[in-house]
Amino acid sequence: MSELNLVLLGPPGSGKGTQGERLNDDLRLPYYATGDILRGAVRDETELGKSAKAFMDAGDLVPDEVIVGVIAERIDSEEARDGFILDGFPRTTPQAEALDAKLAELGREVTTVLLIDVSDDEVVRRLGGRRTCEAEGHVYHVEFNPPKQEGVCDIDGSPLIVRDDDKPEVIRKRLATYHEKTEPLVSYYDGKGILRRVDGARDPAEVTEELRGILDAARS
Ligand code: AMP
């Protein structure tokens, strides 16, 4: 089976996290979600967390130089030798270029980019109802994917919270940031012939099936 260096692309709330967790179960590749990594760093009050917190709370991106090193280190690790799944990185053209440069150093490249496409209206509806597990970042939705017991994570029993950046005014800011900074990556990867676009406004199980089909074909 060939190496799979996978990037998940899409607006906030497109389901990258949910799909990433499922693909992670299937593919058994390390899954690096920069939002989760940064929230963990904020929680642990590390240097990384301290430099990221104000940007995150405002719905802005953290500076490229803060995040690029975090991902470069993981990609270079033994566990990522056969591939990896990136969720939330790259988010700017300089980040995409830095990723390409790091992989080129290792004689590798991004093999597949999955764009999960969802409209702005749908994003606002979804993120407004999103609840996140305080301990591990497992994701639920009050309407579409409720936990068995309200306010409690099914997986680890910790409380479910509304992330600061899932508050309505911050959601709008994050969407604007996505269109301005991250959407140019669609043509960046399309130009390399490795972008696959899926309609993310469907039942999550259908989206998962389509993604699995694309990845099976890409890996065989
Ligand atoms: P997410 O959970 O992926 O929506 O990320 C939450 C927040 O973390 C974002 O709104 C950014 O402030 C920050 N963040 C995550 N990934 C990146 C990245 N690749 N570049 C810059 N900021 C990021």
How confident is the model at residue 1, as a pLDDT?
60
Q: Report the pLDDT value the prediction gives residue 59, as an integer from 0 to 100.
A: 84
17 ligand 1 Cβ < 6 A:
no
Q: What is the pTM of this model?
A: 0.87
Residue with CA nearest ligand 1 atom 23: 61
CA 77/CA 96 separation, integer angstroms: 19
Residue nearest to atom 1 of ligand 1 (CA): 35
Instruction: Specify the 3-state DSSP secondary structure of 126.
Output: helix
Closest CA to 170 of 123, 103, 209, 202: 123
Q: What is the predicted pLDDT for the residue at 169?
A: 87
Q: What single-letter amino acid sits at 42?
A: V
CATH of 4-119+181-219, one of 3.40.640.10, 3.40.50.300, 1.10.357.10, 1.10.3210.10: 3.40.50.300
Tell me which residue of 220, 194, 197, 219 sits closest to 210, measured CA to CA.
197
Which segments of the chain have a pLDDT < 70? 1, 220
- Which 8-state DSSP code applies to residue 159? B
Ligand 1 in contact with 123 (CB < 6 A)? no
| pLDDT the model gives residue 163 | 85
Token code pair at residue 22 = 């499922």
The pLDDT of residue 162: 93
pLDDT value at residue 166: 87
Nearest CA among 56, 60, 59 for reference residue 41 = 56
Question: Residue 168's pLDDT is what?
Answer: 86
Distance 56 CA to ligand 1 centre (A): 7
For residue 6, count other CB atoms closer than 10 A to its CB: 25
Mean pLDDT of the chain: 93
State which ligand 1 atom lies nearest to the alpha carbon of 55: 12
91 lines ligand 1 (CB under 6 A): yes
The catalytic residue positions are 16, 91, 130, 163, 174
The Cα-based distances of 120 to 41, 87, 101, 173 in angstroms read 29, 19, 32, 11
